[in-house]
Amino acid sequence: MEKQKQRGEFDLIKELFVPLSKNSQGAFGLEDDACVILPDPGFELVVTSDAIVSGVHFRSDDPPDTIGRKLLRVNLSDLSAMGATPLGYILAIVLSPEHRGDWLDSFASGLAQDQRTFALTLLGGDTVSTTGPSTFVVTAFGQARRGSVICRSGAKVGDKVYVSGALGEGALGLMVLRGELPNLSDCDTKSLVNSYRIPKPRLALGKRLTHLASSAIDISDGLLADLGHLAKCSGVGVDIQESLIPMSKEVQGLVSQIPSLAQLILSGGDDYELAFTAPPRNQEAIEAAARDVGVPVSCIGTIVKTAGVRCLSRDGVNISPDRTGFTHF
């Protein structure tokens, strides 16, 4: 076995993370205790933070570069739900012995790859060790035109409910990695696993929705759970139809073979698509914006007065899964 690189805290920072900050003057080469962020004139800062923990959000055999990319992308997904453009991020890493050496080099290369993809830079952070599971925390900064941020609290009765992309691929990808969906083709296996490991934050769509959507949230815990958060913040209810929920061909094929998987599409999570609401008059503009950015959107329901989230099956029966989404507690 190749000997692991032995590097101290400041060696790690200099070799792996200082290069990730080179495009930001406000990062000061990671030599100061804090960074400086100045949004463009007429814009305001949008800030979010997400953590991922070994054994909870990623598996020990996941490629390290994909873990770095997912860490960034789940935060960028939060920015997309508010219509913000990413500027940079702060990274805190809490490392166990198993995630040092070459593992960490690959992790940093994943960050570098997605920094180029999404045009943002590392601004600062912290590096510590632990005997427990490795934990990585990103605090991401974005900007949006003043007064244009989309919140969860703006949905109104009569608004239509939309989702972007297709749902279920992330949750089924995790099942594949757990060995719970055998006999899939190599193509289907790769597609589903990639969806779980490397989600697609809908930044371009989120920006286009700032004056069209009344509320928005990204689907991380599960469609029903996240629509429930949106409904509670807005003081409304949500009625959706199972038959309108968009699924890829791979997911449709699996659901037709194993009907019980249909509930996982509603509650599995790891989609990182946008769920948003808008008045009916904005439908054409929303569809045009979606075409422009190359992201399909589907209208799946309506905002109603009655509190809660209801999903009607193809037979008109209210679907009540055992769980509506992922929860840590």
- What digits encode the pLDDT tens for the residues 206-259? 999 999 999 999 999 999 999 999 999 999 999 999 999 999 999 999 999 999
Q: Which residues, including other chains, have CB under 8 Å from residue 266's CB and lie 6 or more apart?
A: 222, 223, 224, 242, 245, 311, 319, 321, 324
Residue type at 98 in one-letter notation: E
Task: Give pLDDT, residue 118.
Answer: 97
For residue 329, pLDDT over 50 is answered with: no
Task: Compute the mean pLDDT over every residue in the chain, rounded to the nearest whole number.
Answer: 92
For residues 316-324, give the mean pLDDT. Answer: 77
- Where residue 141 falls among pLDDT bands split at 50, 70, 90? very high
* Closest to 296 in 3D by CA, of 246, 255, 243, 222: 246
251-281 pLDDT per residue, tens: 999 999 999 999 999 999 999 999 999 999 9
Share of the chain above pLDDT 70, in %: 96
For residues 116-140, give the mean pLDDT. Answer: 94
For residues 29-51, give the mean pLDDT. Answer: 92
| Domain boundaries along the sequence of the chain | 9-145, 152-319
Task: Give pLDDT, residue 327.
Answer: 60
Task: Give pLDDT, residue 227.
Answer: 98
Are 9-145 and 152-319 in the same CATH fold? no
Task: Give pLDDT, residue 255.
Answer: 94
- Strands lying side by side in the sheet with 43-53: 43-53, 135-145, 85-95, 121-129
For residue 5, pLDDT over 70 is answered with: no
100-110 pLDDT per residue, tens: 788 899 999 99
Spatial distance between the Cα atoms of 157 and 328, rounded to a whole number of angstroms:
31
- Where residue 15 falls among pLDDT bands split at 50, 70, 90? confident
Spatial distance between the Cα atoms of 146 and 148, rounded to a whole number of angstroms:
6
Task: Give pLDDT, residue 48.
Answer: 97
CATH superfamily, domain 152-319, is: PurM-like C-terminal domain (3.90.650.10)
Highest mean pLDDT of the ranges 2-11, 20-29, 201-210? 201-210
For residue 4, pLDDT over 60 is answered with: no
Task: Give pLDDT, residue 55.
Answer: 84
Q: Which fold has domain 9-145?
A: 60s Ribosomal Protein L30; Chain: A; (3.30.1330)
Spatial distance between the Cα atoms of 326 and 329, rounded to a whole number of angstroms:
9
- Where residue 9 falls among pLDDT bands split at 50, 70, 90? confident
For residues 94-99, give the mean pLDDT. Answer: 88
Q: Angle at Cα 225 formed by Cα 220 and Cα 231, nearest 5°?
A: 115
For residue 328, pLDDT over 60 is answered with: no
- Where residue 326 falls among pLDDT bands split at 50, 70, 90? low
- Where residue 27 falls among pLDDT bands split at 50, 70, 90? confident
The DSSP code sequence of 158-227 is T-EEEEES-SSHHHHHHHHHTT-S-S--HHHHHHHHHHHHS----HHHHHHTTTT-SEEEE-SS-HHHHH
* Closest to 123 in 3D by CA, of 86, 154, 150, 148: 86
